[in-house]
Chains A and B, each alone.
Chain A
Amino acid sequence: MIRQPNEIADKDKKIRILIAGYPGIGKSTLALSAPNPLHIDVDFGIDRIEPRYRKPFIQPKSYDEILEDLKPNNVKDFDTLVFDTGGKLISLMSLWAIKKDPKYGQRDGSLSLKGYGFVGKEFVRLMDYCFYELNKHIVFTFHAIEEKDGDETRLRIKVEGQTKNNVWEPMDLGGFMEMHGNDRTIGFSNCERYFAKGTRGIKSVMKIPELTPSTPNDFLARLFEKYNATITQEIEENAKEMTAYEEVMAKGREIIASIKDADTANAAIPLVKSLNHALTSRQEFTVAFNKKITDLNLVFDKETNKYIEAINNV
C-alpha cells in the first residue's frame, strides 16, 4: 500500500533501542521497564536484578536455542524482546557461525574477518526478524568500556570488530547510562563522552527516576510513548518543510528550463527573486541556475543588471 509522507503518523511504532553502561549501573532493570518484556537473559544475570523487577525470561545456552525460542507462537504474549546483553548474544552468534562453517573462525576460536561480516549480517537479520515479522519493541543492553582518545576518555559499547557498526545501524535510539552524583542518567545525544543516537525529540541527558517500592518500573514504556507521540508532530513539520522544498525545487527547475538565451534569462530574474526557499533549496537552485547561465555562455552585466552574451576572447 503506497502511503503519503504525512501518513507516517504511526502511534504504535515499535522501537529499537540500545542501552549501554558500566556493569552494575542498572541496565537490565532499565531494559525491563519496556512494555511487557520477555527477558532474553543471555548473560545469565537475572539473579542480579531485584526480584520485583524481574520478568518472564529465557536463558539460552546457544544461538540455536534463541532462534527456537523466538518462534512467533512462543513470544505472542510479549510486546518487547530484551536482549541482555547484546555482547553475549553476539558471542553465542559467533560460536554458532563457526560451527556452521569453520572458515568463519580462526585457530584461537575467535572470528575471522569473514566471520565478523557473517555475524554482522546475522545480527541485522535477527533484528529485522524481531522487528518486522514478530512486530516487537527491541531492547539491547551492552556493557560500556572506556577508550582513550588523546587526553579524553570515551565510552563505547563492548563488541568486538566491525559488528558494533551493524549493531548501531538499525537502532532508533541509543543511550549511555552514567552516574551523575547520586542520579542515574541516560544520554541520547552525541557528546565528547560517547556516540549516541536520539531521534523524535528523545535527546540530551535524562534522569532515570529512582525506583521505590511504590513506583512502577516503566521508564522505557513512557519513553516509547513519548517517542510515538512526537512522531505525529515531527512528521507533520518535516512534511511541511519537504513539501515546501520540493515545490520550490520544482518551480526552480521550470524557471531554469525556460532559459534559452539572454532575454529569457532576464525574464527569469523576477521569478528567481520570488522563490520562497526551504531547507537547502537556495544553494541547490543557485548551483543549477548558474550552470545553465554558464552553459548558455551568458554573464551578468553589473552596469545594466542584466544577463548578456559573454564575449569570448579568441
Chain B
Amino acid sequence: MCKYMITHSLLSSWLYMLTPNEYDIDDSSYTGFWATLNREPIPVTEAMQKGNDFENLITDIINGKDVTNHEWYEAALRVATIINGGVLQYKTQKDITVNGLQLVLIGRLDALKAGTIYDTKYSGNYDAGKYINSTQHPSYFELVPEAKQFTYLVSNGYQLWAETYRRDETPSIVPTIEDFLNWLNMQGLMDIYKNKWIIS
C-alpha cells in the first residue's frame, strides 16, 4: 500500500490560503500553497533569508566561530545558549493513518533537549501569541511523544522572546490533517497530492 508524506509546512500553507487576508492582494497565499502542493521550489523572500541568516548565525556560535561582530550576535547568543547541548536539526517521522490513507508525518526540529522542542524564528513584527494557531507545535508533539513542551524562540535580531506551548494545551494535529484530506477530495486535488507526495 502506498504511503504519502505530510508536513506541517504543507498544512500551514493550506491554512494560510484559506485564511482571508486583506493584504494578500496578489493571491500570494494561493500561489504559495499551489507551489507547496506541487513541491515546487518556493522563491526565498527577504523575511525567509533573514530567518536563514539568523539560524546560520546561531549554528556558527554553537560551532565556536567568531561572529561577535555580527549585529544580531547578542540575540543569537541567547538562543545558542538555550539550545546548546541538545540535538540540532533533528529529523524525525511517524506513520499515521488518516481517513484510511497511510501517511508519514515528517518534521525537522531545530533543537530537541531534555523534553523540550525548540524552534527558532526570525520575526520583524512579533506579537506574543503569534504561533498559537500554528500547525508546527501540534505536528511536532505528534512526532515526539516524549516531548513535554514546545518553545518558539523568536527574535527580531536584537530581542528574544520565548513562546511556550505545553502538550496538554495543544490540540492534536490529526483533525487538521483529516480536514486537509477532505478538502483535497472536495477540490479534486487529491490526485495531485498523491502524485507529488508519494513515498512508496
Residues of A within 8 A of B (CB): 117, 120, 149-152, 154, 156, 162, 164-165, 167-169, 189-192, 194-195, 198, 203, 241-242, 245, 277, 279-280, 282-284, 287-288
CA distance A245 to B116 in the complex (A): 12
Please determine whether B132 and A162 come into contact, CB atoms closer than 8 angstroms: no
- Given A190-B165, A282-B146, the answer on whether A165 and B126 have CB atoms closer than 8 Å is yes
CA distance A277 to B145 in the complex (A): 13
- Given A279-B148, A283-B144, A287-B90, the answer on whether A194 and B161 have CB atoms closer than 8 Å is no
A-chain residues with CB within 8 Å of residue B166 when the two chains form the complex: 203
CA distance A117 to B156 in the complex (A): 12
- Given A151-B20, A190-B169, A242-B114, the answer on whether A165 and B146 have CB atoms closer than 8 Å is no
Closest Cβ neighbor of A150 among chain B residues: B19
Total A-B Cβ pairs within 8 A:
85
- Given A150-B21, A190-B169, A241-B115, the answer on whether A280 and B144 have CB atoms closer than 8 Å is yes
CA distance A190 to B148 in the complex (A): 15
CA distance A245 to B161 in the complex (A): 26
CA distance A120 to B115 in the complex (A): 31
CA distance A120 to B161 in the complex (A): 12
Report the minimal beta-carbon distance from A233 to chain B, rounded to whole angstroms: 16
Residues of B within 8 A of A (CB): 18-21, 86-87, 90, 92, 112-116, 126-129, 132-133, 144, 146-148, 156, 158-159, 161-163, 165-166, 168-170
Please determine whether A280 and B20 come into contact, CB atoms closer than 8 angstroms: no
Report the minimal beta-carbon distance from B121 to chain A, rounded to whole angstroms: 13
Please determine whether B115 and A165 come into contact, CB atoms closer than 8 angstroms: no
Highest count of chain B CB atoms <10 Å: which of A165, A194, A287 = A165
Please determine whether A280 and B146 come into contact, CB atoms closer than 8 angstroms: yes
Closest Cβ neighbor of B145 among chain A residues: A280
Highest count of chain B CB atoms <10 Å: which of A156, A189, A194, A279 = A279
Report the minimal beta-carbon distance from A108 to chain B, rounded to whole angstroms: 21
Please determine whether A283 and B112 come into contact, CB atoms closer than 8 angstroms: yes
